[in-house]
Amino acid sequence: MDINFSNAQRAEVLTAALPYIKKYSGKTVVIKYGGNAMINKTLKQQVMEDIALLWLIGVKVVLVHGGGPEISQTMEKFGKEAKFVNGLRVTDKETVDIVQMVLAGKINKTLVNLIQMKGGHAMGLSGIDGGIIEATMKDETLGYVGEITKVRPQPIEALLEKNYIPVISTVASDRQGNTYNINGDTAAARIAGALNAERLIMMTDIAGILMDKDDPSTLIPHITVDEAKKLYESGVISGGMIPKVDCCIDAIEHGVDNVVIMDGRIPHSILMELLTDEGAGTMVMKG
């Protein structure tokens, strides 16, 4: 922050944010946390500050997280090589135990602790707790990678009602007690839909949807579901962006008002998105 930033300017910023504070206070916002913002220590601290601030002004924040890089690092320590098929981690029985240990244990509790250090009240959960996420095997060749069959929002709603920030790791189970690794974007979309969230924010390492993937100045700030589908056909939305936009559409079809694909590498991008005129990234809307 500029040391010459005056008190009057600070007051002006807060006043400008007031309509957005009124808009989101009491509403549910789901944040899918991942990418560089999860690896970079400075960005991680800023994300936790944003979440704590939103909670303090009355926003019902739900944080959904993955942790791919840390899972791979832990697997390496156990002498296991990470293998991927179409971006999905091949997960045998030993690997899914590592996934559960890293996601539901180390990462989840670290994030809970960080939020509480910033002044928020957080509670860590996994998709297994309370049967929040029920899943089945997606593809036998992938092993214990789950396809979501049901989301039970009641445990999350109970924590929100008690004024906690639920922090949810993306592991799930089936009725036979098997554990599954779940794609974080997919889990966040389905959880946001089950909660009828006001907004889902998907933090990524890109600016948003670009007309030219190599030119950040071609960012599309707003797009409808129908317009997004046309960009599939024209090839504008391609590669790794396809599953992210699919998750946006899935969330909207399950009841979310709108979804933002946002560049998590920008400091305090969550606050920029929710509490300023400009916003951040690309907003996908129903119509």
If you search the block for the tokens 């079809």, which residue do you land on?
253
Whole-number Cα distances in Å, 287 to 223, 249, 252, 255: 8, 11, 10, 13
8 Å CB contact between 260 and 198 = no
* pLDDT tens digits for range 3-36: 566 778 778 878 888 888 999 999 999 999 988 8
- Residue 148 domain-assigned? yes
Q: Which domain holds residue 131?
A: 26-285
Q: What pLDDT, on the 0 to 100 scale, is given for residue 5? A: 64
Number of domains forming the structure of the chain: 1
pLDDT digits (tens, 9 = 90+) for 130-169: 999 999 999 898 999 999 999 999 999 999 999 999 999 9
Q: Is 178 exposed, middle or buried (0-12, 13-18, 19+ CB in 10 A)?
A: middle
Q: Is residue 8 part of a domain?
A: no
What is the model's pLDDT at position 1?
46
pLDDT score recorded for residue 3 = 52
pLDDT of residue 278: 75
pLDDT of residue 233: 85
Q: Say if 18 falls within a structural domain.
A: no
pTM: 0.92
Residues 253, 271: Cα–Cα separation, whole Å? 26
- Within-domain flag for 14: no
Domain-embedded: residue 65: yes
What's the CATH code of the domain at 131? 3.40.1160.10
Strands (E), 92-251: 122-126, 133-137, 146-151, 165-169, 171-173, 179-181, 199-204, 222-224
Positions of the chain with pLDDT under 50:
1-2
- Is 140 a domain residue? yes
Decide if 7 is inside a domain: no
